[in-house]
Each structure stands twice: as structure tokens, then as C-alpha cells.
């Protein structure tokens, strides 16, 4: 899977996209998410720029600063993320 549009899945609470080929993932509309797992986004076993195995380069999380709950588990290892803004995710327990 190369792309996924979850903008209309506003009640989504768990997302596991491990072992796909996502390059970008926008979860900004998914404020009910509690668990996000996007480990090891691969391009058919090839290394991406910089020698990293994963190809996910952009992950946008929802803004949960004013909510009583939000993403508490985020697993995004083995990717090509150059930066990840978690400042809008105060409920994270595992990164």
C-alpha cells in the first residue's frame, strides 16, 4: 500500500500500517486515535536515502492538546523520518 486517506475515519482509534510502502501519512483529522503503529515502511527491500530501510518521511499527528485523551502509543521505528513533531500529542506514553 503506497497511500491511505483516513480523513473521513474520524472515529478510528487504532491504526497499524506496519510493513507497507507509505511515504507520507496525515493523521491530523483522526483525533480519536489512541494507538499508531507505522513501523518499517519499505520499498521492496531497498534502502532509502541515508541508508535507512524505511521510506516514511512525513508523519502528521492530530492536535490533542485540548482533549482529555489522545495518542498514547506511537511506534514509528525503522523509517526515514527526519523530524517528528510530538508537541501536539501530550498523552504519549511510548515513543
pLDDT tens-digit readout, 41-88: 887 555 445 555 568 999 999 999 999 999 999 999 988 888 899 999
Q: Which residue has the higher pLDDT, 1 or 94?
A: 1
Question: DSSP state, 55?
Answer: -
CB contact burial 16-51 (16+ within 10 A = b; e otherwise): ebeebebbebebebbbbbeebebbbbbeeeeebeee
Structure confidence at residue 13 (pLDDT)? 97
Band of residue 1 on the pLDDT scale cut at 50, 70, 90: confident
Strand spans (E) along the chain:
14-16, 24-26, 35-37, 58-60, 73-75
Encode pLDDT of 8-32 as tens digits.
999 999 999 998 999 999 999 999 9
Q: Which residues on neighbouring strands pair with residue 26, listed in sequence order?
A: 60
Amino acid at each position: 500500500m503506497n497511500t491511505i486517506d483516513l480523513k473521513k475515519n474520524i472515529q478510528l482509534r487504532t491504526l497499524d500500517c506496519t510493513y507497507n510502502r507509505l511515504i507520507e501519512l496525515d493523521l491530523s483529522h483522526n483525533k480519536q486515535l489512541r494507538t499508531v503503529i507505522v513501523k518499517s515502511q519499505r520499498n521492496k527491500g531497498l534502502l532509502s536515502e541515508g541508508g535507512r530501510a524505511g521510506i516514511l518521511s512525513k508523519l502528521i499527528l492530530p492536535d490533542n492538546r485540548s482533549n482529555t485523551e489522545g495518542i498514547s502509543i506511537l511506534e514509528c521505528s525503522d523509517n526515514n523520518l527526519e523530524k517528528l513533531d510530538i508537541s501536539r500529542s501530550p498523552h504519549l506514553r511510548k515513543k
